Structure 1
Amino acid sequence: MIEEIFRAEYGRAVSVLTRVLGDLDLAEEAVQDAFTTAAEQWPVKGVPPAPAGWIITTARNRAIDKLRRESKGHEKLAQAALLQHEPEEEVGDVPDDRLRLIFTCCHPALALPAQVALTLKLLGGLTTGEIARAFLVPEPTMAQRIVRAKGKIRAARIPYRVPRDADLPERLKAVLAVVYLIFNEGYLDKVGLEAEAIRLGRVLAQLMPDEPEVWGLLALMLLVASRREARLRDGEIVLLADQDRSRWDADLIAEGQDIVRRCLRWNRPGPYQIQAAINAVHSDPPTDWHQVVALYDQLLAVTPSPVVALHRAVAVAETDGPEKALREVDALDLDRYHLFHAVRAELLTRLGQDPTAALEAALDRAEHPAERALLRGRLAAADQQDHADEHDQHDHDPQPGRDTTGL
């Protein structure tokens, strides 16, 4: 229960206090203290009727106490006095507290990866390890990146303010990346994060209605979310080809496809629009794999990436066969990525080769229980096939000890 509330409300609580305090570290520390107190008290006293309000009030009280303890002159005391009152709603171009803080963290003074990582930490309620996995980097590397970003904010005195219209476009790329990574973190089991990302996407679309990439991201999330009910079976991932399409959400598909058509009329393609178009093709069975390959070619031209190339290779396997796809996959430097090894295993299986080593490598790198369950099932199937092949081989081999040199 506390973990669910943490996921849902951590970002909002940090954003409310940051807006009033103008001090990110103090806001984050106060909210973390509030959740620590909740973990101690709620199991004994019960969950309060309005847990989100309880967290924000408790965090504000923690901030007041800290400011009073550290007060030097009137400035800190004035901040503490301000916090004793409910924060007034700030008027600005961004009509949502969490979205405000996303835009604020995505300040151009920070490198793009730092912007995204810091915002995910503050708004998504994600751990440093979860963010590291999203970026395919070691956790200590990500921890240092977040610390450096906070340090740069302090050193440069970057203000935490609501951006105006003129500031929005230059921060849009990082904002979209943050929203999409929050969505991806909720892809398998964190329904609240997936829904929150879609909500933020809708707010962005209202805020910037003439930005096709904003609409492209919204369409992409809607089309992927439409398959949620068919995505898992007994805690194990069901691959797209094996999903029960009757369980797909027709309304989300229709809305997503309508947005994709609207984006095509803009004729200003970007990575989210292209990914949305790919998912729109998958939503109209049977999948036109030649069209999917063509769209991945366009995506690679816009956003060159080994991960994109990996997904393109999956489509190539359907159009030109697994042998060509495997050659493309083996040319990629994605050893840390579990899906790289999982794709290799699938292609090896289709070529009649042993996928065991690739499956073991994928399992060693996968962390989500549903992904691990799928890989264990495929390993068991590969093992059974090996035993069957050995049995067939023994049926045709000479009997042990029999002299065959003259045959």
Structure 2
Amino acid sequence: MSRRSLLRALGAGAGAAALAGCGVPAAYVEPGDRAAEDRSAREKKLVFANWPLYIDTDDEDAQLRPTLAEFEKAGGISVKYTEEINDNDEFFGKISPALMNHQDTGRDLVVVSDWMCARYVHLGWVQEMDRSRQPNVARNLDPLLRKPPFDPGRRHTVPWQSGITGIAYNRKKLGREIRRTSELWKDDLRGRVTLLAGLDEAFCLLMQGNGADVTRWTADDFHTMTDQLRRLVSKRHIRRFTGNDYIKDLSSGDVLACQAYSGDIIQLQADNPDIEFVVPEEGAELWAESLMIPNLARHKSNAERLIDHYYQPEVAARLATAVNYVCPVPAARDVLASSRDKEVAELAENPLIFPSDDMRKRLGTARDMTSRERPAFAKEWNEIVGL
């Protein structure tokens, strides 16, 4: 079971989405008010909140995380690692009261999706990192991930892992290739195609399919896409909108094509080589889930050192081997390629972990959806999806 398989099975986070759907609270924190006294020098510890199934574990002891243990041993820093993030909106609701009231969250490092990172950054709820403590980040971060619209220069965020939202399909059962998003709408896929239910997970690929420049998409681009979806839903062309349960539908053959995450498909392909993943000719979304240091974190420099630890190519390679997402450290590819383990070495050639040059040209990241835009767009989307 992949991390996303587990999480999306829990639902789309609708229970906590009410807070996020109404726009972010008006509680901006000025840069001078974000830092607390850094206790890192005298307190060799930090608290790291992450998602389940999102780090390497020992084959015999799932509670042992080798890359984290290596950091603790090398730096003498104890890490309290919690798998408490199950949904972006839910976690936002959990720690936002402390942040908006200028209180310590009790966490030194958190990982959330970049579209949610944008909310924290715009509110001034995360601290700028000191790159002098992060030479590996400065040297090894993938150029495609260096300049997200919400955080130019990645001053407040650093990708933990990345991924692609594209199209997966069963080529043998469908009997043809899919190369463009528009090919999902052909008659032979009526009732046999699914899309993702989450607005932030779905809209970028669909607008790219219509030729929109997602780096500067407009309200007209959004409405063109939703008008298209209404027509497809009315014709019952789209079977349903899903969380990660699309994996079960694709595996069983009930669905022949779907919007999908690259990390999930790597695992499906191991069992079914007829499953293919496509970055459409019009483009697909490159996303990341990123590390941030919340305001008033007590062990900021320790957290910065931990982030830099994971940007060593050797460490990034071990993490990529465990989680099978797009690695944000391209130099890790050479590490994997030199492995004596054949299966590990083959990962270096997997374009869903290290996208090919041709694939990279077609990957894009959408501009942020502003807090002013979000309520109306979310309402329109949810009416179509049925949330």
| TM-score tier (shorter) | under 0.3
TM-score, normalised relative to structure 1: 0.25
Q: Which has the higher strand share?
A: 2
Q: Which has the higher helix share?
A: 1
The structure, 1 or 2, with the larger RCO (C-alpha pairs under 8 Å, 6+ apart) is: 2
TM-score, normalised relative to structure 2: 0.26
